[in-house]
Each structure stands twice: as C-alpha cells, then as structure tokens.
Amino acid sequence: MKVDLYERIWMWGVGVVLTLFFTTTAIAALGHHFQPPSHVETIDPQAAMKDPRFTPQGVRLDSEGRVHADIIALMFTWLPPEFSVPAETPVTFHLTSIDVTHGFEIVRTNGQSMVVPGYISQFTTQFNQPGEYLIACNEYCGIGHQGMMAKMQVVPKTEWKAPQVAVQPESEVSHDH
C-alpha cells in the first residue's frame, strides 16, 4: 500500500501524541497516585449530621494511627470551618453533603472532589508545605456559593497534636435512629 509522505508524517505525529497522552495518564495514576475520588459509600443526607461516620466532624486518627478528616458540606459552609492536619502525612478525606452538590477544593493542591448528597466522597492526599490553606467551593450551589469557605492549617509533623476525640466509640454506632 502506498502511503503519501504527508500522510505518513501525520500518522506518526498522531501516534506520538497518543502515546504521550496514555503515558502521562499512566504516570499520574500509577506513579503519582492521582485517582478519581470514590463514590462508592452511600449515606442518608438527612441523617448525615447524626451519622456516626460524621459525628463529630473534623480530624481523627483511626486505630492504626492514620489521619482522617470527616467533613460535611451544606449551604453555605463546611463543617468544621477550620481544622488542622500534620504535614508530610497522608490524610484521607471523607466528604458528604446534606443538601445540594458542592465542590471541595483545597486551593493550590491536588485535594479536590465533588461532594454529592447521598454519597461519601473519599480521597487521600498529603501536604508537604506547612501553612494555612483555603478550602473553597467550586461547584455553584446557590446564592451564598462564593462565601463558602473553610481553613485548613497544615502543621509540621512534630508539632501536630491529634484531636482529643481520637477513635469513635463503638457503642454510638448502632442505635440512634
């Protein structure tokens, strides 16, 4: 089959670009662990405020010492509106909304997820630079959308203190519905 020179150049060009696309995606997903947040776990949005998975809201350690942040979105704030996490430590965020869809964005980081009522969005990331981070809502959710913010303090690992309520007592899990 005779392929014209220009055609051959374009074919090679397309091949190279496609290879680049697939390679960068593979590196981001497998090498840098940039993965889409899960939407697997469900929750009753009307009961979310009392759900043991979100009571109290905020940062906690699990029994293995891993850091979790449980955050509720509502028009037009994040609960809790301020929290602190240790630097250079993986933090797993669990997010849910009690009303409409919001967008959780830790500005200038890769910590970002849609927050959809009825679901718990989860992702894990870490912050290497201590300091104050702004959390904004990046999904239009109503008249107060632009004021929907929270603050996250990233504290050097050695100075960070785990919150007092470290592990959720099992007894609260079963009966308050």
In whole angstroms, how close is the CB of 114 to ligand CUA at the nearest point?
11
The residue (of 60 and 121) whose beta carbon lies closer to ligand CUA is: 121
Look up residue 25 and give its DSSP letter: H
Angstrom CA distances, 173 to 50, 55, 60, 65, 142, stand at: 10, 10, 16, 20, 33
By C-beta, is 145 or 151 nearer to ligand CUA? 145
CB closer to ligand CUA out of 94 and 102: 102
CA distance 60 to 66: 8
Residue with smaller CB distance to ligand CUA, 55 or 139:
139
Q: How far is the CB of 81 from ligand CUA (least distance, A)?
A: 13
| Interface with ligand CUA (CB under 6 A) | 76, 102, 137, 139-141, 145, 148
Considering the complex, what minimum distance in angstroms separates the CB of residue 15 from ligand CUA? 42
Q: How far apart are CB 137 and ligand CUA at their closest, in Å?
A: 3
